A and B are shown apart, each in its own frame.
Chain A
């Protein structure tokens, strides 16, 4: 009768399953870091490629977000600016408050308009500046007419504007509805573009990571054979390649944040100057924490998925 195999593996010395699982992860992580470190240049190239692929939709996303914030500041109610001539302009304008489609009328005198212009443009240098060349105040009186909410549809606003334009003492009418509508349409289009570009470049990240993983698996073919021969499970041999994908993706996300920060710093001054010339305080700003997290998480997830899709099938095909 055979004796009890006291030489057999002692289960008491083994770690509990979660601890063994954590040990395998720690070793796989360390091994992957070593592999990436030993091929620094090619790793850097791949990380930068992923970074650019993630930064492009990120830049578009930031632009859309900032433009959308411009339209968000608008309360949704169209306004009609009516330019008036004549000494009784204020009385004429305030008389429109009785019109059924009008909710409010705000009168702004030529003097108030001039002061607002000088404050906004900085033309008031004490000597009169460029305005000294004008004979008196060149600005007209303005009545800002706000339609009632139920009359705020584009058609009724246009009808009200036409009615006001035909009033005596009216020099011209400007409706601020259309440019906002166009801007909103442009924002929607840019959102779609960002989504489409994002999806395409996410696919590119998957392919880049997948291609690198495929090469790594091919390089480790003999090692994988040996590991499987001595009892390495599919999960055990797969783990280092998943870490490879995740680390490349996370590094790519980090590179994307840095590239975006550089791009935003590069564009922020000219954009702010352009906006100021239109009387806007629009700023590009920086990479928000939310977007930063999204880029990191997205990069890591795409890297993991790219490695998983490539390595799992390839590894199953390698048999001792």
Chain B
């Protein structure tokens, strides 16, 4: 379970990206995080990835307060988190196969298991035939799919995605979303930051809308209210 309690984030330039944010994401749920540019979506993902620390409040994942982790514990924690970046962050001089295999190498998987898992992940994103190519030889959409394969290859317990369908056509976007749902169905907590409201509305999952670092709307709360 992901839990944010009274979380604020103020950067050194004085900008307050998040303000007194309270949010709970139960295990095995899929949540869309929406909002305009600068609403705080990326900052929230960075807090969950422990790239940033909250200025106030507490961020905990699986009951562990992220602020109290040692450097080694942060590395171990990140091995359990799958993350899809908006700008892919692929290593240009490594092949597609090697890029996807990185989390498995770090986690210490056998070579044969690495190969099997990498190919399974590439197969899911439709890039099995490109495993020997390098990221620079791929289109932006294909690079995005390699990033997704890398995020899911280690079968994470939490999957964070920052605009994962930004460079994909609508059909492929739906396929990728379907893949995220498959992971959610087997217990992975998925949080997807996106501004593609059209895509979000098609799935009927929980949607949390941020504005100026605050929760503007939460579909789950609305539903709860309707039930009440």
Contact = CB atoms under 8 A, between A and B. Distances in A.
A232 interface: yes
Contacts of A10: 155
Residue in A226, A228, A231 whose Cβ sees the most chain B Cβ within 10 Å: A231
B108 A9 contact: no
A283 interface: no
Contacts of B81: 231
A24 interface: yes
A225 B89 contact: yes
A100 B71 CA distance: 80
B27 A2 contact: yes
A72 to B, nearest CB: 54
B27 A230 contact: no
A27 interface: yes
B102 A226 contact: yes
Contacts of B75: 228, 231-234, 236
Interface in B154-201: 154-157, 183, 186-188
A19 B111 CA distance: 12
Contact of B26 (A2, A20, A225): A2
A281 interface: no
A115 to B, nearest CB: 78
B51 interface: yes
Nearest to B186: A7
Nearest to B76: A231
B109 A14 contact: yes
Interface in B90-131: 90-91, 102-103, 105-110, 113
A124 B51 CA distance: 90
Contact of A230 (B26, B102, B113, B187): B102
Contacts of A4: 187
B150 interface: yes
B28 A19 contact: no
Contacts of B110: 13-15
A5 interface: yes
A110 to B, nearest CB: 84
Contacts of B157: 5, 8
Interface in A166-187: none
Contacts of B106: 227, 230-233, 236
A12 to B, nearest CB: 10
B103 A230 contact: yes
A14 B108 CA distance: 6
Contacts of B78: 228-231
Contact of B187 (A3, A17, A225, A234): A3
B40 to A, nearest CB: 18
A271 B150 CA distance: 66
A319 interface: yes
Interface string A253-278: 00000000000000000000000000
Given A15-B109, A23-B108, A229-B89, A6 B150 contact: no
Contacts of A319: 51
Contacts of B76: 231, 233
Contact of B155 (A7, A230, A236): A7
Contacts of A24: 105, 108
List the 7 shortest-distance A-B pairs measured between CB atoms, nearest first. A20-B108, A5-B187, A231-B79, A2-B28, A233-B75, A7-B186, A231-B78
Given A2-B28, A13-B110, A20-B108, 19 more contacts: A2-B27, A3-B186, A5-B157, A8-B155, A8-B157, A8-B188, A9-B80, A14-B109, A23-B105, A23-B108, A222-B91, A228-B78, A229-B51, A229-B78, A230-B78, A230-B103, A230-B106, A231-B75, A231-B81
Interface of B: 26-29, 49, 51, 71-72, 75-81, 83, 89-91, 102-103, 105-110, 113, 150, 154-157, 183, 186-188
